[in-house]
Chain A
Amino acid sequence: MTVEDKNIDILIIGAGPAGLAAAIRAKEEGVSNVTIIERDKILGGLLHQCIHNGFGLWYFGKDMSGPEYANRFINMVKDLGINILLDSMVLNITPDKKVTFCNKNGVQTLEPKAIILTMGCRERSRESIMVSGNRPAGVFTAGTAQRFVNVEGYIPGKEVVILGSGDIGMIMARRLTLEGLDVKAVVEVLPFVGGLIRNEVQCLHDFDIDILLKHTVSWIHGKERVEGVTISEVDNKMIPIAGTEKDVKCDTLILSVGLVPENELSTMAGVKLDPITGGPVVDEYRMTNIPGIFAGGNVVQVHDLVDNVSWESEIAGFNAARYAKGEMFKEGKIRLIPGNNIRYVVPQVISGEEDVTVYMRVREPKEMVRVKIGDVVRKAERIVKPSSMLKYDLSHEKHLSKLTEGTKEITISCSEKGK
């Protein structure tokens, strides 16, 4: 794309699964200039390093690896004639939608009619969870280790302890074991596994890897390189219990301790964030508080399945296209409030006049529960877990039209049956 070609209808920030799906959906609505801007040299984002299978089971009805899933979307992006700006880093977005970016041609500014934020998320690091001990080499986030092993061709070490039982951590436990490393244990501070049951079985049980629940790494040993870690049991407040320490010899510590939506650019643009999700507050159109700035995928809420990332971003793509064509949206009058055992709800605001899919996560695992969305939906669930996102369709005709006139809030709760 040349500097003169600035008549952009929709600019999409980031070419991971969210950005690709949003771009395709927007282009399908007949918008003439849809442009994706990406800091990497290739499209597809993190999917290229996720070489394991389990992608696309819902979206394509097929078990695919990350690169295979990405390539389906990349091919569609190319076929549809969507503009692509690679190796280009967005530096700033203003509330009046001026986007400044930098690449080998220098610093330039674009003024698109609509913007879709699809920057994804970032891993929490040793610093964000404050692990005590020395600061030797050999401490990696799971995603960094994954990139070394799957893309760059380096093995991070020989003997590994994994802190946190998130999906990437468990997937790396399997991957490293298959590459011949000795994975000594997966340590989880909570009383339950953080990732999906499928990964617990196929990544840990299959290879007899121990999982220590209600334990944490309380010290990292080693001066130049990790030489071992101290593992301690924790109490109900997640504080290590004195006297339970056990030293484990290892040269590598891998952290899989959660993901945080990446919203530095959103904040610059004046987009309001939800303190719980860490992502923008959005309405059912996936529009933020800044008119014309939309968001989708892990930048809004951290998903467990890429299929949901694609679907959510299509909502943003479709509505950004409507916005660029000058269509008006219904006002978000009703707030969705997380109640008992619900950590968050997305979207945070709805109009109440359209069909909407609401996504949510629970705080704690519970069996035999009833999820209530105000007085309009009651749904029995056999089991709810923080690792599995819940998704409900609210139809205007069947549910939302039954709300009392002037309703400003709907509380969503998850309680055990009979209570």
Chain B
Amino acid sequence: MPKKVNVICTNCPMGCGITLTVDEKSDEVINIEGNKCKQGKEYALAEYKNPVRVLTATVRTNSLENPLLPVRTDKPVPRDKMKEMMYVVARVNVKKPVQLGQVVEQNIMGMDVNLIATENLT
């Protein structure tokens, strides 16, 4: 039995509602409709197969002035792993000084993704 999966494209303000028809057994995408351009098709396929996002958060510091340091992942991570990753982020403590772009936590959850500072901590 084929199933229907809906995604909304975020490439432009159109926000096309795209419907994928997927074979439930083989997980193969049989049809994509509702997209008004080519990028929409690629987006829908990626969103179905492996939706990824950059995770942004904060970590604790030893600075009284700036108790938090903003961080992000250095590459997009699977959407479904974001909540789990926050438990790792919550345990990170950094000591000043930290430079913008510096890795503050390596290889999170063994996923080959690093957490990097997005602000200087002096």
Residues of A within 8 A of B (CB): 48, 51-53, 63-68, 71, 149-153, 178-180, 196-198, 200-202, 205-206, 382-383, 385, 387-388
Contact = CB atoms under 8 A, between A and B. Distances in A.
Contacts of B67: 152-153
Interface in B56-90: 56-58, 60, 66-68, 70, 72, 79, 82-83, 86
B110 interface: no
A205 B79 CA distance: 11
Contacts of A388: 13
A177 to B, nearest CB: 8
B14 interface: yes
Interface of B: 8, 10, 13-15, 36, 51, 53-58, 60, 66-68, 70, 72, 79, 82-83, 86, 100, 118-120
B119 A385 contact: no
A66 B118 CA distance: 8
Contacts of A52: 56
A178 B13 contact: no
Contacts of B10: 197-198, 201-202
Contacts of A151: 66, 68
Contacts of A66: 70
A234 B54 CA distance: 36
Closest 10 CB pairs of A and B: A197-B15, A51-B70, A67-B119, A153-B67, A388-B13, A65-B118, A198-B10, A53-B54, A68-B118, A67-B118
Contacts, number: 73
B118 A383 contact: no
Contacts of A385: 13
Q: Which of B36, B66, B82, B118 has the most CB of A within 10 A?
A: B118
Given A71-B119, A383-B13, A65 B8 contact: no
14 contacts: A53-B54, A53-B56, A67-B100, A71-B100, A71-B119, A149-B58, A150-B58, A151-B68, A178-B86, A197-B8, A197-B14, A200-B15, A202-B53, A383-B15
Contacts of B13: 196-197, 383, 385, 387-388
Contacts of B60: 153
